[in-house]
Amino acid sequence: MALFLSNINQITRRGTHLFPDPPIPTILLNGAGVFGLTDDNVTESVFLFNLNLEDDREGSVRIESTSSTTDVARYVNADFSSTFVPLTVYEEANPSSNTETQTFLSSSICFGYDFDSGAILYVRHGKSIKRIMVTESILDIIYYVQTTTTTSTSTTSTTSTSTSSTSTSSTSSTSTSTSTTSTTTAFEGDFRVTSGEAVSATQIRLTTTEVPFIPTFDASEWEVLEGGEEVTIDSFALWASGVRLNVTGLVAGSTITVTYSGPSAQSTFGTSLDTFSLMAMTNSVVAFATLSLDDGAYYFRLQARTCTLNMDQTVSATGFSGSQPGDWDEIKDYNLP
């Protein structure tokens, strides 16, 4: 059985106290705990998940997933040898505490989810399960397990190209990896802002049918156009449901198109990301909300930035028209834990 990521709509039944409320969109699951898999609204699925295979008293939860039954079955049936996973663990399960490296068998990891400073994992400890906090994300853990074990027999399935109102479908090709034939399709995109003050986007996120990883990102295989003009791609990264292009500032409301020509991008199961051409999106990122405060001598501002409320102060005559930290700097940032 394999560890896999599931995008979820809802978690119910008595074991829900072990998960965040409200639920976060993506969780890590051990495929050995999945049972009772059924269709839900054709493209989605419902299944039960046993929280601890060593002790039924822990109970099970009902998970409504945005993944299809075909995808979940493929994840569950993928056979990876259990491997030792080194993790940086917060002592006393507190992100403010010191850390130490501990090693866990991947088969002993029951489930987990991300939080601001890494991931919360529930691992089997004898016949009980233990809650730990680690600095690694659930994507880091999946990537380590999938790239350090050997894939054996798995099921064969084919996923079809998907489209949305914000994307243009493209010609898909099927690639073959060890005992598996399937495709990974980028079917929509959106935008996120990571920092700065301009009315712009600095991340383009592409949602895919499987979470890809790129061992070596080849910028020549990707093209981003804004109003027909090429935009510089600064770097490439993963997010919970796909891939992310980090770019220079984009104008709010502008039309962006993304093209991928292949072949470097692959999913965690070794299938190639389908090529696509001119996937169109509108940059919907809006201006930052800012409140300026001063007494004629000292200048401050409150600003929503990077999903936090930030308090800044000027440190030079140039002030907020300049750059951080030479002209202004952050005093404090606030958000809920």
Q: What is the domain-level CATH number for residue 273? A: 2.60.40.1220
Q: Note the pLDDT of residue 227.
A: 84
Domain end marker among 282, 304, 319: 282
Q: Note the pLDDT of residue 169.
A: 32
Name which of 35-49, 66-80, 276-290 the model is least confident about.
Answer: 276-290
In a shared domain, residues 305 and 232: no
Percent of the residues in the chain that have a pLDDT greater than 90, as a whole number: 9
When pLDDT is cut at 50, 70 and 90, the band that residue 210 belongs to is: low
Query: In the numeric block, which tokens belong to residue 11?
Result: 């978690």
119's enclosing H/E stretch is strand 118-125
- 170 in a domain, yes or no? no
CA dihedral 12, 14, 18, 20 (to 10 degrees): 40
Helices (H), the chain: 69-77, 138-148
Tell me the C-alpha distance between 296 and 188, whole Å.
48
- 117 in a domain, yes or no? yes
In a shared domain, residues 74 and 187: no
Name which of 106-110, 162-166, 185-189, 290-294 the model is least confident about.
Answer: 162-166
Name which of 49-53, 189-193, 250-254 the model is least confident about.
Answer: 189-193
In a shared domain, residues 9 and 132: yes
- 158 in a domain, yes or no? no
Q: Does the pLDDT of residue 92 top 60, yes or no?
A: yes
What are 278-291's pLDDT values in tens digits?
Answer: 888 877 665 556 78
In a shared domain, residues 239 and 314: no
Q: Note the pLDDT of residue 294.
A: 86
In a shared domain, residues 144 and 9: yes
Q: Note the pLDDT of residue 79.
A: 64
* Residue 223 CB burial class (10 angstroms; 0-12, 13-18, ≥19): middle
Q: Does the pLDDT of residue 69 top 70, yes or no?
A: yes
- 176 in a domain, yes or no? no
In a shared domain, residues 136 and 74: yes
Range of the domain at 315: 290-334
Q: Does the pLDDT of residue 197 top 50, yes or no?
A: no
In a shared domain, residues 187 and 237: yes
End-to-end CA distance of the chain: 33
Domain end marker among 125, 148, 171: 148
Name which of 106-110, 200-204, 332-336 the model is least confident about.
Answer: 200-204
What are 238-255's pLDDT values in tens digits?
Answer: 665 677 788 876 777 788
- 93 in a domain, yes or no? yes
When pLDDT is cut at 50, 70 and 90, the band that residue 133 belongs to is: very high
In a shared domain, residues 80 and 135: yes
For residues 257 and 170, which has the higher predicted lDDT (pLDDT)? 257
- 155 in a domain, yes or no? no
When pLDDT is cut at 50, 70 and 90, the band that residue 94 belongs to is: confident
- 195 in a domain, yes or no? yes
In a shared domain, residues 326 and 205: no
In a shared domain, residues 29 and 45: yes
Give the chain's domain count: 3
Q: Within a 13 Å sphere around the CA of 149, how many CA atoms are in the beta-carbon half?
A: 24
Is pTM beyond 0.85? Reply is no
Q: Note the pLDDT of residue 305.
A: 67
In a shared domain, residues 188 and 252: yes
Phi, psi of 319 (to 5 degrees): 65, -140
Chain mean position to CA 152: 26
Q: Note the pLDDT of residue 287.
A: 54
- 164 in a domain, yes or no? no
Q: Does the pLDDT of residue 75 top 60, yes or no?
A: yes
Average pLDDT over residues 35-45: 83
In a shared domain, residues 17 and 128: yes
E-strand stretches of 127-254: 128-134, 175-177, 180-182, 186-192, 203-208, 212-213, 222-226, 229-231, 233-239, 242-247
Residue 47 near residue 37 (C-beta atoms within 8 A):
yes
Tell me the C-alpha distance between 68 and 162, whole Å.
13
When pLDDT is cut at 50, 70 and 90, the band that residue 56 belongs to is: low
